[in-house]
């Protein structure tokens, strides 16, 4: 699996505190079936991570993983607060490109309130050559109440990332229900851990993929779409939904 949202970089935000923590998170990710992970530190007022700092910590983590014999590919990225997004020049935004793809940006959806001007922000990014990925909207009370209001954002060219802990129920019923409703509406495109701590439970990609209940869709969310983002390729078509038979699913 490919995990394009994690806080595995040390000493930059509320994720890994030390490089040793980052190594332990990497071990947990590998144990959970992850082969590629994006380091996406917060880029916002309380954690004003710069592209230079992100790249320095990324190099340190890669060196530590090689020394520890942990076989996990760690890619660049950043989780950009909408206000900070507006303050950074395009050259620095490209350095935070998700999974090393300079044209894709991971945007942090706020947990409270609907971000005013989000549609305009998505449109502006698209005209500048960026494709936004909206992080964990299912955790917002506004989205939980009306998941369909994300439709214009997706129609405007944004992709939507669900958090593994929402899908498998670790964050509670409302985030889980909103995540599955977004999937039903065709408004979700990839699954990521948003891991902050070194435990398999914090990674949780495999349990979330199993909770999807559709292996082809789970692979699309955890392998095919993230691989297309990393590779700069077109997003593959979503697999057709299985139809019910009396004794299980059939395609």
**Mean of pLDDT over the chain:** 95
Domain ranges of the chain: 2-233
pLDDT for 209-241, tens place per residue? Answer: 999 999 999 999 999 999 999 999 999 999 997
**pLDDT above 70: residue 133:** yes
Task: Tell me which H or E stretch contains 243.
Answer: strand 243-245
Distance CA 1, CA 92 (A): 28
Distance CA 52, CA 58 (A): 10
**pLDDT above 80: residue 16:** yes
Distance CA 123, CA 223 (A): 27
In this structure, is the dihedral angle defined by the CA atoms of residues 124, 41, 175 and 217, taken in order, positive or negative? Answer: positive
pLDDT of residue 247: 42
pLDDT for 72-109, tens place per residue? Answer: 999 999 999 999 999 999 999 999 999 999 999 999 99
For the record, the structure tokens of 222 come out as: 């955890």
- Specify the fold of 2-233: TIM Barrel (3.20.20)
pTM to 2 decimals? 0.94
């Amino acid at each position: 699996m490919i995990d394009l949202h994690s806080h595995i970089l040390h000493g930059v935000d509320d994720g890994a505190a030390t490089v040793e923590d980052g190594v332990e998170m990497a071990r947990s990710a590998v144990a959970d079936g992850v082969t590629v992970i994006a380091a996406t530190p917060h880029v916002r007022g309380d954690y004003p991570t710069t592209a230079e700092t992100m790249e320095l910590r990324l190099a340190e983590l890669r060196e530590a993983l090689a020394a520890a014999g942990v076989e996990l590919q760690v890619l660049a990225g950043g989780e950009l607060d909408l206000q900070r997004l507006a303050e950074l020049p395009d050259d620095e935004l490209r350095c935070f490109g998700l999974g090393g793809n300079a044209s894709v940006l991971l945007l942090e959806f706020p947990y409270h309130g609907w971000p005013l001007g989000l549609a305009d922000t998505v449109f502006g990014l698209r005209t500048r050559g960026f494709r936004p990925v909206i992080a964990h909207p299912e955790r917002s009370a506004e989205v939980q109440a009306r998941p369909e209001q994300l439709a214009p954002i997706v129609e405007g060219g944004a992709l939507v990332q669900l958090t593994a802990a929402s899908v498998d129920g670790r964050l509670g019923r409302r985030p889980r229900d909103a995540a599955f409703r977004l999937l039903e509406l065709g408004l979700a495109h990839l699954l990521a851990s948003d891991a902050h701590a070194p435990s398999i439970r914090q990674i949780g990609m495999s349990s979330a993929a199993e909770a999807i209940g559709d292996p082809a869709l789970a692979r699309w969310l955890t392998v095919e779409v993230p691989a297309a983002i990393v590779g700069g390729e077109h997003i593959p078509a979503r697999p057709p939904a299985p139809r019910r038979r009396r004794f299980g699913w059939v395609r």
